[in-house]
Amino acid sequence: MDVQHVQGRLPRAGLNPVTTLRQRIPDPAVLVSLAPEELASQLLSTLQTRLQNGMVHRDDTSRLAADYPDRQGEIELAITEAWRWLEFNMFILPASGMNGRNGWFALGRRGTAALAQPQQFTAYSKAASFNRDLLHPAIAERVWAALARGDYADAVFHGFRAVEETVRNAGGYADTEIGVELMRRAFDPAKGPLANQNDPKPEREALAHLFAGAIGSYKNPQYHRTVTLTDPNEAQVMVMLASHLLRIVDARKRKPAAGGAP
């Protein structure tokens, strides 16, 4: 279920003084339909209102579930899953010392930031559901971190800048060679060092268009002006394309094109 769609019909995270989960989600059928990360945003805001000396106890999962007597067992399971998601992703952390050993939890830095700016929760939950291993190793760490911060423009720019730099290095070009023209030279169907002369000419031409179009569409605009990206799904698709292009270059570096320039 899409997080943004769900949050459109639930109270916004971070609002007070809602102190029970049932005040936020009156219908138990809606609650059990939520994925753990979707329920977690509502649970985090509820826990904020129940803090005692900056802490909340793990037994609150049972207390919150008790407000749904007709489906208490499955509601408690759903709340526990959401709690574990918050804990695993460091929105909440065991309190220090004896308090933590006795089941008390405190807000982590990520949880505090998400309560102050609820959109950060959406950004992080989207990134957490995105498999980092799908990203090329050259960009995975920085791009995933930018996605988690909700800095989608930075994630996309870094991904396609890495494509440009990798193509430049693989083709043996000077640092002054940039952008669309670099892509067209590197993958020139007749003499580009990254063009595979064993491929049919239409395929070589299409690959040159693919690289040039990707750099022209996704890297160049962000280099020349401020570009606003707000859709995490769109940003993820873009950085996946950058990863795909990087893997193409990797393959060309491993297997020099027959008949191509050295």
Q: Is the pLDDT of residue 260 over 50?
A: no
Task: In whole angstroms, give the CA distance from residue 24 to residue 38.
Answer: 13
Residues 121-137 have pLDDT tens digits of 877 777 777 888 899 99
Buried (b) or exposed (e) across 217-241, using 16+ Cβ within 10 A? ebbbebeeeeeebeebeebbebbbb
Residues 172-200 have pLDDT tens digits of 999 999 999 999 999 999 999 999 999 99
Nearest to 237 by CA among 159, 176, 125: 159
In the structure encoding, which two tokens stand for residue 204, read together? Answer: 């070589």
Least confident of 78-82, 83-87, 142-146, 160-164: 142-146
In the structure encoding, which two tokens stand for residue 254, read together? Answer: 């491993």
Task: In whole angstroms, give the CA distance from residue 70 to residue 245.
Answer: 53
- Phi, psi (5° rounding) for residue 151? -90, 75
- Is 252:170 a contact under the CB 8 Å cutoff? yes
Stretch 110-123: mean pLDDT: 84
Q: pTM score, two decimals? A: 0.62
Residues 25-62 have pLDDT tens digits of 999 999 999 888 889 989 999 999 999 999 999 999 99
Q: Which residues pair with 106 in a beta bridge?
A: 55, 93
pLDDT recorded at residue 144: 87
In the chain, what percentage of residues exceed pLDDT 90?
63
